[in-house]
Amino acid sequence: MRANRRLAGAQSVVIARRTARPGVLTLRGRGIMKIRAEFVTSAPSLRECPRWDRVEVALVGRSNVGKSSLLNALAGVHGLARVSKTPGRTRSFNFFAVGDSLAIDDLPGYGYAKMSRAQAHRISAAMQDFLARRANLSGLVLLVDSRRGPEAEELELAAMARERGLVLIVAATKSDKLKSSERARALARFSALDAEPILCSTLSGEGLDELRRRILALGRTQTEEQRFVRR
């Protein structure tokens, strides 16, 4: 009897392990997937960005959309990206390596940050330059508050992504704050982006696995394509 209890207890322990896919961590016994992301560097402009062959997926959204919190949730690591009570603390391009061939770029937020007009202009210009010219960039995760829906800035970013041929992934954040009766109406507001949004929440965990899968799949697809393309 005691042996059976010890065996049952051992089976209930959740053990972290690396899967065969680089950059992925699963928790055995729960089927939970995490992205293994490690901070590499920050860059204030395109010129200072890393020179490497990694496929990059950029996270972009308003200053108060919860970008840093989402990145921490995707990785399952508190403090990987700094979360501040004051929106807009991310003012550089922050690069996180995932496995051997993928990187997640945490871009500065826009909209509500308390900063001087000159600084806001500098960051906006750096963002435009990065999104238009960063050669490694293959996908854009556009974060939009699910209660608010996309506005002019989000529509412009989506158009820029399509113009460059980037894969657009729309994450409708803070879905835990929506009532059941509000969800259909909230999703309808995203139709202008012409991309099905992923309702997600860092509190309830809704949509996080789907978002992880989309990001990792993009990295694998782009890497496989590069193997057959001569430069």
| Residue of higher predicted confidence among 45 and 19 | 45
| Residue of higher predicted confidence among 110 and 148 | 148
Which pLDDT does position 221 carry in this prediction? 64
Q: Which one of 3-12, 108-117, 194-203 scores highest in mean pLDDT?
A: 194-203
The mean pLDDT of 203-227, rounded to a whole number, is 81
Give me the percent of the chain exceeding a pLDDT of 90. Answer: 58
Task: Tell whether pTM > 0.85.
Answer: no
Which pLDDT does position 20 carry in this prediction? 41
Which pLDDT does position 124 carry in this prediction? 84
Number of H helices, E strands in the chain: 6, 10
Give me the percent of the chain exceeding a pLDDT of 70. Answer: 76
Strands of 198-199's sheet in order across: 37-43, 93-98, 102-106, 55-61, 137-145, 167-173, 198-199
Burial of 55 (0-12, 13-18, 19+ CB in 10 A): buried
Rg (CA), the chain: 19
What are the tens digits of pLDDT across the range 50-95? 999 999 999 999 988 988 899 999 998 877 876 544 444 567 899 9
Which pLDDT does position 179 carry in this prediction? 96
Q: For residues 185 and 196, give the distance between their C-alpha atoms in angstroms, rounded to a whole number.
A: 14
What are the tens digits of pLDDT across the range 69-81? 999 999 988 778 7
- Apex CA 24: angle with CA 171 and CA 47, to 5°? 65
What are the tens digits of pLDDT across the range 23-41? 554 443 344 578 999 999 9
Residue 146 tokens, joined: 């699910």
**Cβ neighbours, 10 Å, residue 119:** 12
The mean pLDDT of 198-206, rounded to a whole number, is 96
Of the pLDDT bands very low, low, confident and very high (cuts 50, 70, 90), residue 97 is very high
- Asked whether the beta carbons of 46 and 133 are under 8 A apart, the reply is yes
Q: Give the CATH number of domain 36-227.
A: 3.40.50.300
Q: Domain extents for the chain?
A: 36-227
pLDDT for 153 beyond 90: yes
The mean pLDDT of 119-141, rounded to a whole number, is 91
Q: Which one of 77-86, 135-144, 213-222 scores highest in mean pLDDT?
A: 135-144
